[in-house]
């Protein structure tokens, strides 16, 4: 009986190890039902179970950091390179996202060895075609948002918003902190109202005549046009047009949804496999058609809603490394706070 007990114990340990080796723990701050469908496909293809721990980015980050070496997290998946950069700065990530498949799929400026972009988005200008002329927009840049001609005509989210932190961080990288500080003061002076609401609220403000131009991410317009957010938002989206800034110099500010490899990940190899899967054409098409983001890889087209209403042929900023968003995040907050950006 004793021998049987020992054998049983050995097999139990082996089975337990096998289960661990065939799973991956994803701390997920992207709240899309479509993402869960992708993870199910990955499991069906590979046999690797995806354990999803869903939550808001701040709460997940706090948990990963507080648990430290005891964390079960393999991947942290979230929106915005600035968040992944901030986690890296806190020592919560590790290198290892360096496989040939990942390097071949993702341009250098959109990845590090600790995190990689899995889908792209642009932060652009939306305008009222009834109140904004082509001449006013000709050669328009992010820097131009501080031009006094836009006084009382601009809406944009709060300074605490991560998308704005990354946008301002990119301006610091390209123009320096002093110039960006002066720019932020100009932007605040041009605001039509105290910042409030999400990106869709900015687009709706332009549609309602509360402002003439707004700053928001690209996928929000397509989301509104799709009808998934109701008829009111769908009609509002039809009243604005999209404009891609900085087409005559570095290109439009780009950002990503990113997957970061957590320090001490217990299933590192499986985490890498999952990231590789998210960068396949099948997964990229799933992203573009469900979340209306731009594909990270070549050879995949954006959703028809994006192509028809935002366009496809625009110059992306491939010069500014997205790693700079996290590095300049503190300076961006300082600049906006000093300018009185609520």
SS (H, E, C) 223-247: HHHCCCCCHHHHHHHCCCEEECCCC
Kindly tell me if the per-residue pLDDT of 250 is higher than 80. yes
Rounded Cα–Cα distance for residues 132 and 327 (Å): 35
CA dihedral 207, 209, 211, 214 (to 10 degrees): 0
What's the rounded mean pLDDT across residues 45-64? 97
Strands (E) located in the chain: 23-28, 49-54, 75-79, 115-127, 154-155, 213-217, 241-243, 254-261
Predicted local distance difference test score (pLDDT) of residue 8: 37
Fold entry, domain 121-253+322-338: D-Maltodextrin-Binding Protein; domain 2 (3.40.190)
Residue 10: pLDDT band with limits 50, 70, 90: very low
Residue 18: per-residue pLDDT: 41
Q: Which phi and psi angles does 28 have, rounded to 5°?
A: -115, 120
With a cut of 90, say whether residue 162 has pLDDT above it: yes
Instruction: Give me the pLDDT at residue 22, please.
Output: 93
Average pLDDT over residues 278-297: 96
Q: What is the pLDDT of residues 192-227, one digit of tens each?
A: 999 999 999 999 999 999 999 999 999 999 999 999
pLDDT tens per residue, range 58-106: 999 999 999 998 999 999 999 999 999 999 999 999 999 999 999 999 9
Confidence at residue 4, expressed as pLDDT on a 0 to 100 scale: 38
255 within 8 A of 166, measured Cβ to Cβ: yes
- 3-state secondary structure string, 162-183? HHHHHHHHHHHHHHCHHHHHHH
Q: What percent of the chain has pLDDT over 90?
A: 91
Name the percent of the chain lying above pLDDT 70. 94
Long-range contacts at 135-139 (CB < 8 A, ≥ 24 apart): 137/243, 139/247, 139/248
Closest CA to 342 of 180, 188, 166: 188
Mean pLDDT, to the nearest integer, of 108-128?
98
The per-residue pLDDT for 21 is 60
Range name among 267-271, 311-315, 318-322 with the lowest pLDDT average: 311-315
Longest pairwise C-alpha distance within the chain: 89
What topology is assigned to 2-120+255-300 in CATH? D-Maltodextrin-Binding Protein; domain 2 (3.40.190)
Q: With a cut of 60, say whether residue 15 has pLDDT above it.
A: no
Confidence of residue 9 (pLDDT cuts 50, 70, 90): very low
The reported pLDDT for the residue numbered 76 is 98
Q: What are the CA-CA distances from residue 139 to residues 152, 241, 245, 319 (Å)?
A: 21, 16, 7, 19
- Report yes or no: 102 and 275 within 8 Å, Cβ to Cβ: yes
Please tell me the distance from the alpha carbon of residue 159 to that of residue 137, in angstroms, as a whole number.
Answer: 24
pLDDT(117) > 50: yes
User: By CB neighbour count within 10 A (0-12 exposed, 13-18 middle, 19+ buried), where does 185 fall?
Assistant: middle
281 vs 3, more confident: 281
CATH 3.40.190.10 positions along the chain are: 2-120+255-300, 121-253+322-338
Q: Mean pLDDT, to the nearest integer, of 244-255?
A: 98
pLDDT value for 11: 35
Instruction: Return the structure tokens found at 208.
Output: 């309602």
Residue 31 confidence class, pLDDT cut points 50, 70, 90: confident
Phi/psi for 71 (5° steps) reads -65, 140
| Mean pLDDT across 14-27 | 66
């Amino acid at each position: 009986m004793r021998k049987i007990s020992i054998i049983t114990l050995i097999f139990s340990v082996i089975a337990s190890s096998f289960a661990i080796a065939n799973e991956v723990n994803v701390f997920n701050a992207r709240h899309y039902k479509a993402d869960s469908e992708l993870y199910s496909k990955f499991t069906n293809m590979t046999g690797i179970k995806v354990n999803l721990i869903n939550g808001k980015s701040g709460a997940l980050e706090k948990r990963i950091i507080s648990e430290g070496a005891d964390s079960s997290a393999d991947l942290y998946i979230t929106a915005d390179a600035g968040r992944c950069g901030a986690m890296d700065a806190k020592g919560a990530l590790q290198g290892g996202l360096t496989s040939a498949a990942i390097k071949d799929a993702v341009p250098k400026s959109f990845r590090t060895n600790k995190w990689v972009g899995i889908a792209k988005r642009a932060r652009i200008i939306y305008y009222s075609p009834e109140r904004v002329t082509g001449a006013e927009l000709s050669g328009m840049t992010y820097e131009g948002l501080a031009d006094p001609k836009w006084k009382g005509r601009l809406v944009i989210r709060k300074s605490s918003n991560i998308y704005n932190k990354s946008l301002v961080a990119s301006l610091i990288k390209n123009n320096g902190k002093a110039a960006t500080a002066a720019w932020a003061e100009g932007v605040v002076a041009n605001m039509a109202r105290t910042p409030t609401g999400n990106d869709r609220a900015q687009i709706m403000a332009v549609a309602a005549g509360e402002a003439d131009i707004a700053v928001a991410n690209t996928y929000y317009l397509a989301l509104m046009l799709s009808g998934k957010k109701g008829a009111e938002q769908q009609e509002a989206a039809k009243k604005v047009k999209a404009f891609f800034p900085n087409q005559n110099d570095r290109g439009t500010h780009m950002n990503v949804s990113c997957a970061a490899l957590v320090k001490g990940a217990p299933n590192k190899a499986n985490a890498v496999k999952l990231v590789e899967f998210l960068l396949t054409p099948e997964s990229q098409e799933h992203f573009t058609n469900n979340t209306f983001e731009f594909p990270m890889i070549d050879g995949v087209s954006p959703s028809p809603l994006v192509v028809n209403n935002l366009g496809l042929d625009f110059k992306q900023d491939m010069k500014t490394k997205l790693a700079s968003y996290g590095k300049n995040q503190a300076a961006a907050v300082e600049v906006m706070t000093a300018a009185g950006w609520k």
